[in-house]
Structure 1
Amino acid sequence: MGELLYGNEEIYIIVYCFILLWLNLDYIKDYKKIKTGLSEISSDAELEVNPEGLSMVLIDLLFNFFRRWLLYILAVLMTGNIFVVIVSVTLFAISLYDVLFNCSLAKLKKSNLKFYLAGLDTIYVSIFVSYLLLS
Structure 2
Amino acid sequence: MTDLITGREDLVLLIYCFILLWVNVSYLREHKKIKESLAEISSEEELDINPHSFSLLLFMMAFSFLRSWLFYILAILITGNLFVIILSAVLFIANVYQILFETSLAKVKKSKVRFYHVIGDTVFIAGFVIYYFAII
Tell me whether the two structures share a fold, i.e. TM-score over 0.5.
yes
Residues 17 and 129, structure 1, Cα contact 8 Å, conserved in 2 = yes
The 2-side partners of 1:44 and 1:64 are apart by 28
Matched, 1:134 2:134: yes
Are the structure 2 counterparts of residues 36 and 77 from structure 1 closer, same or farther at C-alpha, using a change threshold of 3 Å?
same
Identical amino acids, percent of aligned pairs: 47
| TM-score under structure 2 length normalisation | 0.92
Deviations 1:8-52 (A, max 9, x none): 112101100000000000000001111111111111663132233
Counterpart of 2:17 in 1: which secondary structure? helix
Counterpart of 2:48 in 1: which secondary structure? coil
2:100 aligned residue: 100
For 1:74, give the aligned amino acid: L
Matched, 1:91 2:91: yes
**Consecutive unaligned residues in structure 1, runs of 5 or more:** none
Counterpart of 1:30 in 2: which secondary structure? helix
Give the aligned length. Answer: 135
1:43 aligned residue: 43
Matched, 1:111 2:102: no
For 1:57, give the aligned amino acid: L
Residues 44 and 50, structure 1, Cα contact 8 Å, conserved in 2 = no
1:53 aligned residue: 53
CA RMSD in angstroms comes to 1.4
Deviations 1:97-135 (A, max 9, x none): 111001111100100111111111000000111112111
Deviates more, 1:35-44 or 1:87-96: 35-44
The 2-side partners of 1:94 and 1:114 are apart by 8
Residues 28 and 118, structure 1, Cα contact 8 Å, conserved in 2 = yes
Alignment of 1:2-17 (within 5 A): 2-17=2-17
For 2:130, give the aligned amino acid: S
| TM-score under structure 1 length normalisation | 0.93
Are the structure 2 counterparts of residues 124 and 112 from structure 1 closer, same or farther at C-alpha, using a change threshold of 3 Å?
same
For 1:73, give the aligned amino acid: I
